[in-house]
A and B are shown apart, each in its own frame.
Chain A
């Protein structure tokens, strides 16, 4: 069971890494508009029948 003395700090370091990534996303403004990207992905650029002209 003594492996937990190493495993727990490692897990916490992973958590800290994930947290840092999340903070980076927030600072980059990725959470400001949650609607448009969800819609944007619905449209396929190469769809031949959906020319805007």
Chain B
């Protein structure tokens, strides 16, 4: 949680330093904290904790703390996995949610559960701790009229059943909002319904495959034992036939998927990964059945059944990852508001659900609201923040006739617009499609590993037959024993385990360092240096406007701040907030942190050309652009040169004139993060090519690139989200190595998905980060170095594991083919290689705390607020 985010949440957090919730570690506004401490002490509950300054952000957290504390489980707070994805604690937004009572909304979203009883799914923001489950499911006690509330923690969806006679959905929504959980409408669409059916179908297949494989294994063990200790020929034949029957079930049931997909691939002329698997399964089954009929020779049904089961499990894991990614991407739609003020022909505005908007509707958007749909402005002038879609760091002035897009923020005054596109065809909708497609394309690459398993089976079958025939040729009575021993000992378990095990261990450890890695293949792609592209705003920089330097007469700072505190302009707010650092003697007595000043300000004028003028404590003060200040004051040429210099740095020069002459200048801009320069330098040292892709003005981008020593041909500005994807695709084929994108906002999400590896850093819009492969749950760029190092170590571990298991298999196969191992010994040896691989995976150094580059979590101070601005 950055200071910038606290700002954007309004003034609640700005009243003073905040405490941190003992349970979920979210910051708590001071006023709330004091009130709560009093309450806790008065009630006697948790008094001990309250006296020690322990505070909570919500009742759920408090109760959970109490529960754990009382049970002596306080260690939980040391050991708990950090939950970097945890959303903020938004508090009461004061919204009315009246659109939830709209008949069209209820018709779309609610299900009837009986007379007057309705049920609806709401997606909640702000579910940050487990105790929230407890709190939310006790909603019926908090709200008469609500009969049931069930939370799905995984999806963050609350199913509420309520009595339409006793309460309204809008009241339920308001109560949820007060508790800190902002509700959004959630609708299962057709795609999700079919995804649900697909999920269940796959699970049923896995269940059948597991049951069959388990029973086949039991029978196989009996058969192996029989070979050693002797077995009645009739019983042996019986067991072989039962195996053959079960094998047929495995193949005809869950195994059919592989044949169907292999056939589909063949028909399309593109042999796919399922082909070798289908070949292996088909060949193994045929030989097995022939041997069953001949009543001699090896049957492979146990291995085949296991292979089907393991392959299905592997695909299930992959499928779940894909689905989760696409769920996350769908949530990007929440960046547009769920409701809109529709203006009727009579000019009356009424809240309606955003989904009810159609092209041609007129919508009113007030200041500080998010635009609900794409449209053309028909009346009103304002400035809007387009950073969500474009990454521009400065707001843009708009007037009637200009086009605006859903998701942009209206900063100043009310506007009315005519809707031109909604939902999936809006700019944001198309962008989300782009992200989704790119994400899907990438997960397909993963399947290559499966093919190895298929070919492996073919090789084993051939080797087994060759062994059997070879030994029969020399008339060895144990010919088939040797063959069977080979089939057992060559089981590809260890080979198949090496990669997933090492990745699972690495991903788990990384998560503890708050590096969320979505797919293991991202780690594999980060091993060799390639090109790494950074977004500028919010990634290399802090993502908010601040004062970078003050020059000239510092005695006028108080006057300037007194005047600027009356303006709502971004630069003015930055000056009000940051200037005390430069004022004489540190923080000035007359200028508080929040900009309140004791100086009297009169005759305030806001200029059209960017600035503000007034009489402060009897002196005539003008602050603003050189054009505005130059209207009524003389500007020394020295200040013009300074302005040019500041502009070349990518910052905005603001001049301050007192009594008709310019005496001071303020450079306002987006400051680089403190660690950026050292991280970039280290990346170059490691052999990475570094570039910048930004939606911001090229001049600003060039300034940042110069400061960081990035080549100008790799510092690109004015890029739309779509163009960023193009640049990535163009550059991918030029250099060697992977193409990595590091970004933070919605405007980067398409590029994050299109890059070989997308990495997102923590900043404002949390849900827009999810299209990335890797997500840093800590602010700043330092985790990047740890990630690269961890990736190298993970791949090293994988290679070691694969090497060991391959060597083991090769050695065992040679010994078995030479007739040195009997089937029972082979069965005992089989798990040894798996255990070795497990030991290698767990013993690997990837992401081990204390051995990572860049500070690890334990060593890092809470949240770095960045350095003091650079002096000029």
Contact = CB atoms under 8 A, between A and B. Distances in A.
Genuine A/B complex: yes
Interface of A: 1-2, 4-5, 8, 11-12, 15-16, 18-19, 22-23, 26-27, 29, 31-36, 39-40, 42-43, 47, 49-50, 52-53
24 contacts: A8-B238, A8-B242, A12-B215, A19-B207, A22-B211, A23-B208, A26-B200, A26-B203, A27-B200, A33-B155, A34-B154, A35-B153, A35-B154, A36-B133, A36-B150, A39-B133, A39-B134, A43-B63, A49-B66, A49-B70, A50-B63, A50-B66, A52-B138, A52-B141
B135 interface: yes
B281 to A, nearest CB: 21
B153 A50 contact: no
B63 A40 contact: no
Contacts of A34: 154
B45 A49 contact: yes
B686 interface: no
A52 B211 contact: no
Nearest to A8: B242
Contacts of A49: 45, 63, 66, 70
Given A12-B215, A26-B207, A39-B130, A52 B152 contact: no
Nearest to A9: B242
A40 to B, nearest CB: 6
Contacts of A53: 141-142
**Top 10 closest pairs, chain A to chain B, by CB:** A43-B134, A36-B153, A35-B153, A50-B63, A19-B211, A26-B203, A39-B130, A22-B207, A33-B152, A35-B154
Given A19-B207, A22-B211, A36-B154, 19 more contacts: A4-B235, A4-B238, A8-B238, A8-B242, A15-B211, A23-B204, A23-B207, A26-B207, A27-B200, A27-B204, A32-B196, A39-B153, A40-B137, A47-B67, A49-B45, A49-B70, A50-B67, A52-B59, A53-B142
B204 A52 contact: no
A47 B70 CA distance: 12
Contacts of A32: 152, 196, 199
B207 A36 contact: no
B151 interface: yes
A5 B237 CA distance: 11
A27 B215 CA distance: 23
A22 to B, nearest CB: 5
Contacts of B59: 52
Given A4-B238, A50-B66, A52-B141, A33 B153 contact: yes
B232 interface: yes
Contacts of B232: 1
A38 to B, nearest CB: 9
Interface of B: 45, 59, 63, 66-67, 70, 130-131, 133-135, 137-138, 141-142, 150-155, 196, 199-200, 203-204, 207-208, 211, 214-215, 219, 232, 235, 238-239, 242
A39 B232 CA distance: 53
Nearest to A36: B153
Nearest to B208: A19
A12 to B, nearest CB: 7
Contacts of A8: 219, 238-239, 242
Contacts of A4: 235, 238
A33 B141 CA distance: 24
Contacts of B154: 33-36
A33 B154 CA distance: 6
Contacts of A40: 133-134, 137
A5 B238 contact: yes
Contacts of A23: 204, 207-208
Contacts of A22: 207, 211
A2 B150 CA distance: 54
A49 to B, nearest CB: 6
Contacts of A5: 238
A50 B133 CA distance: 13
Contacts of A27: 200, 204
Max chain B Cβ within 10 angstroms of own Cβ: one of A12, A18, A52: A52
Nearest to B137: A40
A1 B67 contact: no
A45 B134 CA distance: 9
Contacts of B238: 4-5, 8
Nearest to A19: B211
A49 B49 CA distance: 15
A5 B70 CA distance: 58
Nearest to A33: B152
B415 to A, nearest CB: 42
A18 to B, nearest CB: 7
A10 B382 CA distance: 78
A12 B243 CA distance: 11
A52 B142 contact: yes
Contacts of B135: 52
Contacts of B153: 33, 35-36, 39
B151 A36 contact: yes
Contacts of A42: 67, 130, 134
Contacts of A52: 59, 63, 135, 138, 141-142
A26 B239 CA distance: 31
A44 to B, nearest CB: 8
A29 B204 CA distance: 12
A1 B239 CA distance: 12
B437 to A, nearest CB: 26
Nearest to B201: A26
Contacts of A15: 211, 214-215
Contacts of B203: 26, 31
A32 to B, nearest CB: 7
A31 B203 CA distance: 9
